[in-house]
Structure 1
Amino acid sequence: MTKMRSALWLPIFDELAEPAVVARLAVEAEEAGWHGLFVWDHLRWQAPVREVADPWITLTAVACATEHLRIGPMITPLARRRPAKVARETTTLDRLSGGRLTLGVGLGSDRFGNELSKTGESLDDRQRGRMLDESLEILTAAWSGEPVHHHGEHYTVDDVEFLPRPVQRPGVPVWVAGFPGNRKPMQRAARHDGFFPVNLEHPDQVAEIAATIAELRDDPTAPYDIAVALPTGTDPAPYAAAGATWWLTDVSPGDTLDQVRGLLRDGPV
């Protein structure tokens, strides 16, 4: 069975919209033996949620308060962020945390908060997919420390160096989100460091994902992560046996701070 690590995965809304609160939770999680803490990345959410925190500033607070937890946004919709700015943010946060950042990426959705339509972002999944791929090209080049020469459909970065480099080499690990059975996200994920399947229904899907990505990767023997979000009370063992390497707590936007603390105290896998 694959050794599985455990992370709190938090919607930073309402009670959790205070970075200092999340930082304290992170300290408690580290002391309790958790391996990571990841946060949602949204501008807004549907009612009754009203308060929303910025993931990067929240993660900065977590990085300063902890020593060992792996941290990151899970997931950030890169199509609504400028890749050159993300290159600076990711490098700086990776250095601040001592090389503990994982960048979760995906297309994003307008479904739960209309955050794309209300801010003038593209609603075309294919266009956002092309923007995501282009952004990942820029980030990979930026993390190398070499001058970036990118002239694409959506972005231009003309002879810019992004120094200093991240602590992690060759760069910050990237996990790509996508629905099981959708080949395009798995093709994208195979070029990077991990896959985060959304809306899993059973462990057999993890085995199928692991087999497909192994076929697509240049080196299927190199370390690779498959992270699964499982509801409270779900036995993670069958998912680990199928190839999952991380279990993320499926905390809902309506869960209270006390509920999250209870989950934290129950401990990791």
Structure 2
Amino acid sequence: MKPRVLVNEVKGEGPPVVLLPGGLTGWVSWTPLANALAARRRTVRVQPIPNELGSAGERGDAGHTAAIERESLLMTVDALGIGTADFMGWSSGGRALIEFALAHPERVRTLTLVEPAAYWILDRLGESTPKVARLNQFLHTRAGQDVSEDDLAEFVELAGLVPSKDQARDRPAWPRRVRHRMALSWSSEQAGRPDRDVAELAGIRCPVLLVRGSETADWLGRVVAVLDDRLPGTRVLELPGDHACHLENPEAFLAAVERHLAQ
């Protein structure tokens, strides 16, 4: 598998901001916030390859890696004529942006990371919990496989989007998540574990806004805490809610983002 320009949508004019989604529903999750940002900025939503192909029903390709993800984003901003931009990423999109910022720091003006699913950081620190191990086992055993609705319900719990998988089908987002569930088959070990050391995180020297939910999974909160400790220029925003706290509190999130970008 080779990197390629990602499917993207551009709205608005002004300084560029690039939005990377989480690993399940993809770029549709950013739509309301992107529309608001586009009033002042050239706002780019990108659709990572796992979201594009997984949402079309394709099983994950073992050739897709963190490096493919990183270089595909680089090709995309190059194709759009973007030199330096503000980047925002949620969940796996946040994990991808950590890798991108380490490899291409000159392209990143600021980062906004909403609960980045960078579980590799905890692995490297020897802090993996049973819940992280369970999530990893779940994702890696389903890589390249069909994903059932029961699988999806378990993932939604492990990702901190519901307290229990028994409640997953009761949430308004369930029908949309079902349509995109095959994107989970792209969450292989080689995609989620870049060949990095935790000490390298200090190389991200741009301003970073870290966002976490007040009711999120403990391991996601711990990733945010480690990044806050290891990165030199961070602010932490806690919003009410779970892993999708920025979507549950759009006005507060956008106000914090505007302050962050203005600095």
Q: If the TM-score is normalised by the length of the shorter chain, which range does it land in?
A: 0.3 to 0.5
**Which structure carries more helix by proportion?**
2
TM-score computed with the length of structure 2 as normaliser:
0.34
